[in-house]
A = this chain, B = another copy of it.
């Protein structure tokens, strides 16, 4: 059972949400699987049209949705309004993509006369939706990575049905979004294309079901790994797209620090955006020893004010990690403004250290402080920096600040590219564009499936499986495809 908590006051409010019982989950799985037959069979254009109606439904209820989400998450009206726009944009982009045949158009490989290996029958390589899938929403994006977020939208666009597991830190928002979408699907004759469940046990049970074909997850390393293990240990293992923890490195080369004051300010803006509760948070910053950027950060952090955590659990985990990191590195955090008004806050802080210290405490770089804590590491030269990058674990994203003439910049970029799914030039990692070129996924522990992305149009591919039709006469083949 769960109840909403207002992060600005710590007070519980609103109805209690019961965990979905195991028998209810079984019944929902059955409904989802039945709904798959219809949803996977309609034309791409019809599927796109219905998804667009869902997006319209969300948009026309945006004000009410943002209000409830703000009460549950404390993320603020401006950010949440933007997030709703992003969420419906995302749904419409996926809809547009499948309508245009992107990712779903069969590849035609014509008959070649002659003996093998050169000669071969004709093939039509189609892409077919996997089935009913379970999506585990994240706490930090109550719209864009939640019930109707990118995982759900891309799976629906592919033709899968989705069982969404609501995140306990925003149950009211989850139900409100679900109700709007479910009404549209039902009105269009596709009830149960999207279903909703509550509770950790309910989610795990669904992932184990023979009738479930894939899972998608955004959240912590611990939770994500547990679910990945469930998916992998099944008698019939299924794809599991987990986007887990990530400690994202940002490198400042000498030429990238021309304006130390502005760089420090933009660093703190990115670090503290949404109270630092982003999977793309720039939590590791590497600056040259003696760089004035360090002094600027140390000065500017003093003025930074806290914003609320998403939940008491998030704060408590963050605080213990910050303490652990500070202890390992024997370096006291330099902290910002403290506020004690009953809200779920921690003072923003930066911990400073040197590459030589990290060398004896490499475990420090795996500690993800999900919240308003940065680690600034001074390095004495590019060679030692490159060695350090080579031993980083996988991450979602990395940034480099350099000028175009910086002769070592290419080397650093290539080293970063081996560790992450996205490298940004002179720009911060937060703010993940929904676009065809996006890659939001990296080597483990950033993702359990680094060949795929959870943001951007390629996300659809995670839910499609190739089926080749060999030697089919044209008129039969024509009856198999629909677009």
Binding site for B on A (CB under 8 A): 82, 85-86, 89-90, 107-109, 112, 116-118, 120-126, 128, 228-229, 232-233, 236-239, 393-394, 404, 409-410, 413-414, 417-418, 420-427, 431, 433-439, 441, 443-445, 448-451, 453, 458, 461-462, 464-473, 475-476, 479-480
Contacts and interface: CB of A to CB of B under 8 A. Distances in A.
A378 to B, nearest CB: 25
B413 A117 contact: no
A426 to B, nearest CB: 7
9 contacts: A107-B437, A121-B424, A404-B476, A423-B468, A423-B470, A425-B469, A425-B473, A425-B476, A439-B466
A477 B195 CA distance: 44
Contacts of A451: 239, 461-462, 464-466
A112 to B, nearest CB: 8
A232 B464 CA distance: 22
Nearest to A394: B236
Given A413-B480, A465-B451, A120 B433 contact: yes
A126 to B, nearest CB: 8
B410 A476 contact: yes
B433 A116 contact: yes
A123 B425 CA distance: 11
Contacts of A422: 467-470
B404 A116 contact: no
Contacts of A469: 413, 417, 422-425
Given A236-B444, A465-B451, A417 B470 contact: no
Contacts of A453: 466
A476 B427 contact: no
A228 B239 contact: no
A219 to B, nearest CB: 17
Contact of A116 (B431, B444, B475, B476): B431
A442 to B, nearest CB: 8
B236 A445 contact: yes
A403 to B, nearest CB: 10
B476 A413 contact: yes
Given A123-B439, A237-B448, 20 more contacts: A89-B117, A109-B435, A120-B434, A121-B433, A124-B437, A125-B437, A125-B438, A125-B458, A126-B417, A229-B233, A236-B445, A237-B444, A239-B451, A410-B479, A421-B467, A423-B467, A424-B469, A425-B473, A426-B471, A451-B465
Contacts of A468: 421-423, 437-439
B86 A424 contact: no
A457 to B, nearest CB: 9
A425 B469 CA distance: 8
Contact of A471 (B82, B86, B425, B471): B425
The 4 A-B residue pairs with the shortest CB-CB distance in the complex, in nearest-first order = A123-B437, A109-B437, A120-B433, A439-B468
Given A473-B425, A476-B409, A438 B123 contact: yes
A464 to B, nearest CB: 7
A468 B468 CA distance: 30
Contacts of A89: 117-118
Given A86-B116, A117-B85, A424 B470 contact: yes
B410 A466 contact: no
Contacts of A434: 117, 120
A36 to B, nearest CB: 10
A480 B414 contact: yes
A414 B476 CA distance: 11
A445 B123 CA distance: 23
Nearest to A479: B410
Contact of A90 (B117, B120, B236, B394): B117
Could you say which of A125, A236, A424, A435 has the most chain B C-beta atoms within 10 Å of its C-beta? Answer: A435
Contacts of A123: 433, 435-439
A208 to B, nearest CB: 15
